[in-house]
Structure 1
């Protein structure tokens, strides 16, 4: 089962940051655990230098930041109290640093959090979290990051989308998707886009009696079946089964237990991120994708594609960095 005992929620008290609170609360109610809030006070280097040049008898570290921290801590504790139930409520953390993203990443790793949940937009709906900070947290964090745009829908999470570029690396996110789907009684759709300028899936041998998309679909099913047969997803082994033309993920040790509906969809498109965002917004409640850290995402998800999915989709996106890079 997916471990979600410690959740870290960065906040700047904005509407965008607050959109993450209901998701964190919903996850702890389902999986158990506690929610900690963290607020980063920007280190005002330019103010330090200005005060030094003016010769004012002020020491930022001794005279200014302690007061700012005290005020911020009081506000953060009130925010935590008003936003999170007592059963899920953890600690309030205030830090002063020049780089908020580094502080979040380092603190999350040091304290062994299981998940970072953060709003995609910060103050004034601009870029406090979007792009600069969120992107850096996602690329730098060894901890999974759930990026949220809007409040939790009444339906909850019932449809999970897992984009794949046909690589083994992209399948690594399946263990999180399967754990969440099993616990939340959701279905999973594995989605591959055959881009017009080329795709890894086009390089494999195909049945000449089948059309391009059908052949790629069947190859993808075979490839993901092999991955699932060879790996533990969550805390148990699963296998792909089929009944009446519908694929399912079935636990190996309890074949009579609840099965997860498993859809495999292949579509041709101009750009992968357009198709992913469209399917996510129209037919999904959560997107789960794997990263490999500061170098970006594998092939399909390199650079701007992932940023566009995370920042354009209206549904939350969970990004995971696999423990080991697949060669």
Structure 2
């Protein structure tokens, strides 16, 4: 499933943590590791400074080379490709995905202090939004899990076929790591509240929302059993993105696997809504799967 894994890096703590997760995944899949550092052309003057240890390199280029070298040292394999390039970071990452036929991107959500190159809303968000392959985003924070492991995988679903695009990835990871999959569906409390204001006449609609959520997790459970994967299911009331992040922490999940698009129309899991907020706020790594990707 994952044969060519791209790990963009700027040498930040977030990028290093992402590389450590990349090491776990590439070891499990026997994948080739691609380490890419992009010197932002918008800050690049092309002039080497006197302080540079390597003649002809600017300070930014030297930092980029040091970043990929440091990341390469984390991997216990010789199957590593490194590249330093100049460009707009998100565009360069997406171009490399296509050029190298990458099937997974693993990247941090925050970068170096100041401009924070990998801050969500900038590079990472653009990559997740436009990538045609799954993207694993890893946040560096004090609340983050202390170890890079995959023992419990949380899969949020709204019951749509698009949201189930995440399941093959979750199941394959569960098989390789002998992990448990938990299907999670959220009954949006805001919808329930608006329904209750209409009193008894719409009580059946509330029951319908709960039934839909239960049906969604039942389908996850059935597919997991068919794939011979250990599974649990949970239905909770709440605001979807907040509930997903909170449940991921409270349940001890090591990874959230979520499709980037959900129901048409309301698009509960449309990037820019639930999935984007989960990527931005989750202390647990998030694997975002484009809804039209081939598993």
TM-score, normalised to structure 1's length? 0.72
- Find the counterpart in structure 1 of residue 151 from structure 2: 158
Distance 1:219 1:122 in 2: 40
* Structure exhibiting the larger radius of gyration computed from Cα positions: 1
Equivalent residue, structure 2, for 1:255 = none
Task: For 1:147-226, list aligned pairs within 5 A.
Answer: 147-150=137-140, 153-154=146-147, 156-198=149-191, 215-221=211-217, 223-224=219-220
Query: In the superposition, relative to structure 1, how do residues 211 and 302 fare at CA in structure 2: closer, same or farther (>3 Å)?
Result: same
Query: 1:135 and 1:107 mapped to 2: Cα distance?
Result: 17
Instruction: Measure how far apart 1:214 and its partner are.
Output: 6.0
1:321 maps to 2:281: no
Residue 279 of structure 1 is matched in structure 2 by: 247
1:30 maps to which residue? Answer: 28
Partners of 2:188 and 2:237 within 8 A in 1: yes
Q: Which residue of 2 aligns with 1:95?
A: 85
Contact 1:39 1:93 in 2 (8 A): yes
- Whether the 8 Å CA contact 1:8–1:113 is kept in 2: the answer is yes
Q: Which runs of 5+ in 1 are unaligned?
A: 49-59, 203-207, 226-238, 241-247, 252-258
Moved more, 109-118 or 70-79: 70-79
State yes or no: 1:112 paired with 2:112: no
After TM superposition, give the deviation of residue 292 of structure 1 in Å: 4.7
Pick closer, same or farther for the CA change 1:186–1:100 going to 2, 3 Å: same
Tell me how far 1:16 sits from its aligned partner: 1.5
Say yes or no: does 1:10 pair with 2:8: yes
**1:19 matched to which residue of 2?**
17
Rate the CA distance shift 1:15–1:137 in 2: closer, same or farther, 3 A: same
Structure 2 SS opposite 1:4: coil
* Structure 2 CA distance for aligned equivalents of residues 302 and 144 of structure 1: 13
Aligned to 2:229: 260
Alignment root-mean-square deviation, CA: 3.2
Distance in 2 of aligned mates of 1:309 and 1:36: 26
Give distance in 1, aligned partners of 2:20 and 2:109: 14
Aligned residues: 269
CA 1:250–1:306 in 2, change beyond 3 Å: closer, same or farther? closer
Shift of 1:74: 4.2
In the alignment, the residues of structure 1 paired with residue 293 and residue 31 of structure 2 have an alpha-carbon distance, to the nearest angstrom, of 27
TM-score (norm 2): 0.79
Instruction: Encode CA deviations 1:215-237: one digit per residue, 9 max, x unaligned.
Output: 33543255557xxxxxxxxxxxx
Partner deviation per Cα, 1:75-103 (whole Å, 9 max, x = no partner): 24531442222x25411111111x21111
